[in-house]
Structure 1
Amino acid sequence: MRVVIAGAGIVGRSIARELLANSHRVLLVDRSPAAMKISSVPDAQWLLADACEISSLDEAELTDCDVVVAATGDDKANLVVSLLAKTEYGVPRTVARVNNPKNEWLFDEAWGVDVAVSTPRLMTALVEEAVSVGELVRLFTFQQSSTSMAEYTLDPASPVVGRTVGGLPLPADAVLVAIVRGDRPIAPTPDDVLEAGDHLMFLSVPDAEAELRSLLGAP
């Protein structure tokens, strides 16, 4: 499968590595010379160009492309890339990154988007599908490292309920990356007070999980 990725930032390069590891062909496109970190993904093809321009997409040979991934940090650019890929080149599959959840309603077939990837929505879906209250659940492990994402739903009896995020003595190798409260993802700050029913999303190494379970009161 040949995949063209618009946006060679951290997200675009990470996607490229995973696809290359699965034996796909990848072209990274970015208009910024600073993004041309070719040595970071040496097996990919690279193109310094503006993916919102028809001439650039011609050069990227989108007519010979199976999937276009719009992974820039600009929602407007991701919409334009998706629309051009679908309407001008007939690309079978387009995947677009949603940076601002408020723009998510735009990312549909009208803009040529087959799949919209929104981090807050993805995290909420993982919580709804895989979580048991009072248990630390490992959702997935990053293939490039031993770091895992785990989720814990706060039981009313948890010793951390009512405490602030800043007051949690987290293990050295564990990071609280998000709180999902109801249907709303929250970027945690030191002053946020934890409530029963909160879904806590952690990044941690396996050795830190036992200490994390003890802190949260998990079995």
Structure 2
Amino acid sequence: MSMRVAIGGAGNVGRSIANELLENGHEILLIDRDPHAIKSDTVPGAEWLLADACELSSLEEAGLDTCDVAIAATGDDKANLVMSLLAKTEFGVPRTVARVNHPKNEWLFNEVWGVDVAVSTPRLMCALVEEAVTVGDLVRILTFHEGEANLVEMTLPGGSPCVGQRIGDLTWPGDVVLVAIIRDGHAQPPDADGSLEAGDELLFVTAQDYEQELAEMLSPRAGITVKQTPVASPRI
């Protein structure tokens, strides 16, 4: 489904996002207040607007009320919060995504400021390091506040009772859903007739209430805990 997406901030990050979304068939509007950032030749398929994405009049000119998604991708956390809040409260944009530049500001990027999805590169890198060195621990990667669900990952240890089990025969706790398996560096959807192998990286969507039960099922041992390293919040 093609969407109209407004991106505040036409720096390297904003332009990279724009190019990726254009390739996927979406309509893109790039907004930046710096004339030097208006480089239409770098994203030729996008619309461009020289304006301040923190000003109501600029967002009206951009037709933000016609957008399906607003992305605040500037290098200024204050600007990203203001754009997200205006997009959500004044223009009713269904989905807002905001870039977090400084980890100390992460706590602000939530629904109170109109942010549906907060993306923190430092937090993402920390979580991926944690994920890479952890086997047998459930690692929380993303938090989806609106649905009260999390994206969690576990690298399946060799001693897990699930190793060798047919995926279709496994009964996950509650509303847990196995969404992907990463094996030998390649992601694949779960096959009911396939089996789990030691070293598989398993990605689940689960309510927080079932995380502990899922962890104990995959890697039963005394005192198991869920590592809480959320990268982003809510729906992407």
Number of aligned pairs? 138
Counterpart of 1:74 (choices 73, 76, 90) is 76
CA distance, structure 2, for counterparts of residue 62 and residue 131 of structure 1: 43
CA distance, structure 2, for counterparts of residue 10 and residue 138 of structure 1: 28
1:16 aligns with 18
CA distance, structure 2, for counterparts of residue 127 and residue 25 of structure 1: 35
The 3-state SS of whatever aligns with 1:39 is coil
Contact 1:126–1:139, Cα closer than 8 Å, also in 2: no
Contact 1:68–1:93, Cα closer than 8 Å, also in 2: yes
TM-score (norm 2): 0.55
Distance 1:96 1:31, change over 3 A: same
CA distance, structure 2, for counterparts of residue 20 and residue 11 of structure 1: 14
1:33 matched to 2:35: yes
1:114 aligns with 116
Query: What's the offset of the Cα at 1:139?
Result: 9.2
Query: What's the offset of the Cα at 1:125?
Result: 2.4
CA distance, structure 2, for counterparts of residue 90 and residue 9 of structure 1: 25
Counterpart of 1:47 (choices 31, 43, 49) is 49
Unpaired runs of at least 5, structure 1:
141-182, 184-219
CA distance, structure 1, for counterparts of residue 86 and residue 17 of structure 2: 21
Contact 1:78–1:96, Cα closer than 8 Å, also in 2: yes
Contact 1:130–1:139, Cα closer than 8 Å, also in 2: no
Query: What's the offset of the Cα at 1:127?
Result: 2.9
Paired letter, 1:100: H
Paired letter, 1:56: S
1:68-147 matches, within 5 Å, as 68-130=70-132
TM-score (norm 1): 0.59
RMSD: 2.0
Contact 1:5–1:70, Cα closer than 8 Å, also in 2: yes
- Considering Cα pairs closer than 8 Å and 6+ residues apart, tell me whether 1 or 2 has the greater RCO: 2
Paired letter, 2:58: S
Query: What's the offset of the Cα at 1:90?
Result: 0.6
CA distance, structure 2, for counterparts of residue 105 and residue 43 of structure 1: 35
